[in-house]
Every structure is written in structure tokens, then in C-alpha cells.
Amino acid sequence: MTDSFDLLGFHKRAVQTPSHEDVGEMRELLVGTLREHGVDPEVDDSGNVLASKGRGRPHFVLNTHIDTVTPHVEFSRDGDVVEGRGACDAKGPLAALLAGFLAIEPEEGRVTLAITPDEETDSMGAAALDLAADGYVVGEPTDLGACTSARGRFQGTVELTGEGAHAAEPGSGANAVAAAESVLEAMRTYDAARGAAEHPDLGPPTLTPTRIAGGDAANRVPDECTITFDRRTVPPETQTDFFEGFAAHVREGVPAHVDVAVEPAERETPFLEAFDTPADSAVAEALVDAGAGTPRPFGAATEASYFADDAPTVVFGPGVLADDEGPVAHSQREYVRRSDVERAAEIVTDALHSLV
């Protein structure tokens, strides 16, 4: 990497910069750092920071995000360990990708740095990107592993509509809350009947009821009930496959006198779908050969799913989602080891040298 880029200094400043409510200051830090090193970045209409080196093919993209979850946790350091919001998710990966980008001068081909502003919420930035790449490295805390697959995540509701009646005459109405029993059974049986098969690396998909609401009086047969669910997908299941198949399965199980509607959660961008990148793809092999270790799955849904349909995509970076003591990323004790940030930068840099 370039001798002039202060990797750990940038990481410290990034973690010290709150970006849980507004990414403006963090974006300014990133843009200013790029300009200090002779790169003129663009901020597009969706708030993405974009910068490229080289031209032509092959074209590889380095991506991560500058936003963090709430609440902000102040920076602190104890020896090799940096704590603070974003330390590993994802300002540690950002620092490593930035170091690799600044270090590379492609002999042929192109490298693009594409940093998104809202991965933790709606992913409007990632959804707007159209980069036509030959491979992507997506920065997330993977404990320096090359992660070539990940589950997707869908959310939705099952809305039941019956007919209200006096509870003294329950048979005169259609009890929407009672019909929830059939919906829960349909959730338990869906994958065996219609769902995606178990994935060799990611395991089986899951379908979990997470909230239920219905009824408005203790002495009235309820005419409405809503069940919220969480779907964790595995390849090759798509959003369309799941919602169409699940709606049909629920309708088969719920009594005919109760109406059923299965609705995806409202969002302006596509859900994060599962993906699976071949371990022998150029980007995966480059990271592994540079020291990233045997390809394995990643434990969370990421914006990598938006890119995996375009080209082989690998999730990589310093830090962990959780350790033996419990959650790390998104927790009050979020941390990363400075030595791992440095090692991640070396791996990214070496991988890029072999790719372009």
C-alpha cells in the first residue's frame, strides 16, 4: 500500500466520526482522503462515493458502506483493540479497501471504489449502482475469511380477514385470530412442501413468525389478524419464488371462510437475496491466494446480494460479527483489532495486484 496513506489513522478518524443518523461528515472524510491522494471521486445522486483507477477490462469493484447502526459508541483504544461504533461494521473493512485502492495502479483493467451510504437501512445507494464489473469485493467483518455465499432476508405479513361477531355466538362469524393457527402450521410445513432445498454451505432456509396482532375486544369474534414473518433464504430461492409459493401454501391451509393475503414488507429497494459465488472465480481465488483462507459462508445478509447477479462476489474484511463472549458488530462492545485491519489491507492489495 502507499507509504503516504495512514491506514490506522484513517480508521481512527472514521470510527470517531458519527454516521448513525447522517453520513455527511463521514462522506466528507472519505472524499477528502481520496483527494489528498490524487483521486477525484464522484458523489452520485444516491449518495454513493465512486472513484476509479485504470480503464477497460477486467473491472473489479471494492464496495462497503459508511453508515452505522444506532446508537453511536465513542472511539476507544486498548493496545491492538479499537472499540467504537463502526469499528468492524464497516469502517475497518472500509479502511482496508481504501488502502488497497490507493495502492493499486492497474497495468490493465480497472478498479472502482464504490462506497454506499445506507446499507444498514434501505440500501438505496447499492440499488442504484450499475457498474458492469467482473467481480466484487464487499467489505464486512468476516474475520479475514473469503465468504462466497450468504443467506438472504425477506420480511412480510400474512393478513387474515374474517367476519366479526358476538363472542356468545362465535359460529355466526369468521374468527381471524383462530385462523392464525393454520398460518403457523403452514409456516412450519412450507419448506418441506414447497421451499428451497438445504444448501450445502448455508444449510436450510428458515421461516419464522415474529409478531402477531388481532382482535379489538375481549367479547368480540375478531375479524382481522396480522402475522409478521422473517424469511432467511438460501440459493436459488428468489423473492418472487418465495412469496408466490408461500401465498399458495397458506391459502391451502387456512379455512375457506377466512380471506388471506401474503404481502412483502414495504420497501423501495429489492430484498437482499441469497447468493453463492463459485470458489474458483477469479476474485475468490485472488483473495484466497493472498491469504484470506478457505471460502466459507457469511453469517448475515449484505448488499453483496445486489452485486452477485452481476458478477462473482466475495465478502471480506477484518473483525467479527460475534465472538465467544457474544455479539460484536452492532453491539455496545463493537471492536476490531488494528493488526487485522492492517492484514486485511495487505490481502486486498495483493489480490488486486493479481487481478489487474
Give a yes or no: residue 2 inside a domain.
no
Of 206, 204, 202, 203, whose CA–CA distance to 188 is shortest? 206
Cell 447522517 belongs to which residue?
Answer: 22
* Distances from the Cα of 265 to the Cα of 156, 262, 305, angstroms: 4, 10, 18
Domain end call among 233, 264, 295: 264
- With 0-12 / 13-18 / 19 or more C-beta atoms within 10 angstroms meaning exposed / middle / buried, residue 192 is exposed
Of 344, 325, 342, whose CA–CA distance to 334 is shortest? 325
One domain, residues 281 and 294: yes
One domain, residues 146 and 160: no
Query: Along the 356 residues of the chain, how does pLDDT read in single tens digits?
Result: 445 899 999 999 999 999 999 999 999 999 999 999 999 999 999 999 999 999 999 999 999 999 999 999 999 999 999 999 999 999 999 999 999 999 999 989 999 999 999 999 999 999 999 999 999 999 999 999 999 999 999 999 999 999 999 999 999 999 999 999 999 999 999 999 999 899 999 999 999 999 999 999 999 999 999 999 999 999 999 999 999 999 999 999 999 999 999 999 999 999 999 999 999 999 999 999 999 988 999 988 899 999 999 999 999 999 999 999 999 999 999 999 999 999 999 999 999 999 99
Domain end call among 231, 264, 297: 264
Domain count, the chain: 2
Give a yes or no: residue 1 inside a domain.
no
Mean confidence (pLDDT) of the chain? 96
Give a yes or no: residue 198 inside a domain.
yes
Q: What CATH number is attached to the domain comprising 254?
A: 3.30.70.360
Characterize 329-341 residue by residue with b for buried, 16 or more Cβ atoms within 10 angstroms of its Cβ, and e for exposed: bbbeebbbbbebb
Q: Which pLDDT belongs to residue 293?
A: 86
Q: Which pLDDT belongs to residue 3?
A: 55
Domain that holds residue 211: 152-264
pLDDT digits (tens, 9 = 90+) for 35-70: 999 999 999 999 999 999 999 999 999 999 999 999
One domain, residues 128 and 160: no
One domain, residues 130 and 26: yes
Give a yes or no: residue 179 inside a domain.
yes
Q: What CATH number is attached to the domain comprising 338?
A: 3.40.630.10
Q: Is 266 left (phi over 0), alpha (psi -120 to 50) or beta?
A: beta
One domain, residues 42 and 119: yes
One domain, residues 145 and 279: yes
Give a yes or no: residue 34 inside a domain.
yes
For the whole prediction, is pTM greater than 0.85?
yes
Q: How far apart are CA 187 and CA 338, in angstroms?
A: 44
Total Cβ atoms within 10 A of residue 300:
18
Q: Which pLDDT belongs to residue 301?
A: 87
CA atoms within 13 A on the CB side of 322: 7
Q: Which pLDDT belongs to residue 219?
A: 95
Q: Which three cell numbers stand for residue 125?
A: 445507494
Give a yes or no: residue 269 inside a domain.
no
Output phi, psi for 83, to 5 deg.
-110, 155
One domain, residues 105 and 168: no
Total Cβ atoms within 10 A of residue 301:
19
